[in-house]
Copies of this chain bind each other. A is one copy, B any other.
Amino acid sequence: MLIVMTKKATPAEIEAVVATIESKGFMARPIPGGERVAICVLHNEGAVEASFFGGLPGVKEAIPVTRPYKLVSRESQAHDTVIDIGGVLVGNGHFTLIAGPCAVESEHQALTIARLVKKAGAHMLRGGAFKPRTSPYAFQGLGEEGLKILARVREDTGMPVVTEAIDNETFDLVEEYADVIQIGARSMQNFSLLRRAGKSAKPVLLKRGLAATIDEWLMAAEYVMEGGNTRVILCERGVRTFAHHSRNTLDLSAVPVVRQESHLPVLIDPSHAAGRRDQVIPLSRAAAAVGCHGLMVEVHHEPGKALSDGAQSLYPSSSRTCAGR
């Protein structure tokens, strides 16, 4: 943390800031500059809140310097984390393809799609049993019945399944059936859910929130790791911007940044970013090229009849394009 004083800050004001820093158990080191004084905050464990200092008399700005995350940081673990999910590896050196419907609608639907995407090269099946929906009137998923269908499909195809947990009430149930537990974008800062995921023995796929900075996203992963669960997979799925030709704006620069800052694997979900089928294949290619560790795409054998997100679902034949690389 660097506290920048105004040009007119008095010695008394500077001393008061130093005293405030020291009262919190940190060390203060004032640096006289040409026109103004700046004060470094040292020996802090974890992050210092800029807001402590921003309002003190004579303070122009409080600028955070160090990163707030620890366990997810590459500074704490230099080598890449690679996660083994029933023989499917996720992480550096592997390119993992997760495909499937947005929501599980029936055993017939899930099994049809699963067999098709497996044939097309997918390594894992995705499919929602509990769906977070903007409207209370929209289809909310099949619940436990959906999870049972996923289990039967796994038995049939041998593919591990990824499915979302939306609350602590249903977490145990999801944990029982899933191979990977997804935390959705809208739940990225549901801290109770993150803590529960931190106690799970199953790997967690953590999507980036719609307006989350990379720091906030990594801090959400830190919650999971802090609970003891080290198997976290990050997943970028587009952020909300002024642009409206795609549902969200896929932020591919997140991949090199995450790979530099963290040792955790990072996937891309082009389907939710695009929201339109005709952008999914080009964005999938771009995602692979930018250096992510895999894709999660929505596939439906009859998108026109899908109960949710039909417009962004690929036909199974298209997923071959993704897997064929």
Contact = CB atoms under 8 A, between A and B. Distances in A.
Interface of A: 2, 4, 7, 20, 23, 27, 29, 31, 33-36, 38, 40, 42-43, 46-47, 49-56, 61-63, 65-66, 68-69, 75, 132-138, 166-169, 186-187, 189-193, 195, 209-211, 213-214, 216, 219, 222-223, 226, 239-246, 249-257, 260, 273-279, 282-283, 285-291, 303-306, 308-313
Name the residue among A69, A187, A286 with the largest chain B CB count within 10 angstroms: A286
A140 to B, nearest CB: 8
A315 B202 CA distance: 44
Name the residue among A191, A255, A312 with the largest chain B CB count within 10 angstroms: A191
6 contacts: A52-B310, A54-B311, A132-B191, A252-B286, A253-B273, A253-B279
A287 B50 CA distance: 26
A38 B2 contact: yes
A134 B290 contact: no
Contact of A190 (B190, B211, B250, B287): B190
A249 B239 CA distance: 10
A211 B242 contact: yes
A283 B46 contact: no
Contacts of A190: 167, 186-187, 190
A102 to B, nearest CB: 9
Given A51-B311, A240-B242, 13 more contacts: A2-B65, A4-B65, A29-B33, A46-B135, A49-B311, A51-B312, A54-B275, A55-B312, A134-B189, A136-B195, A210-B211, A252-B283, A255-B282
A164 to B, nearest CB: 12
Contacts of A134: 68, 189, 216, 219
B189 A167 contact: no
Nearest to A23: B305
A60 B54 CA distance: 24
Contacts of A273: 253
Contacts of A226: 136-137
A75 B6 CA distance: 10
B257 A246 contact: yes
B286 A55 contact: no
Nearest to A247: B51
A222 B42 contact: no
B31 A31 contact: yes
Nearest to A16: B304
A66 B35 CA distance: 10
Contacts of A167: 168, 190-193
A174 to B, nearest CB: 13
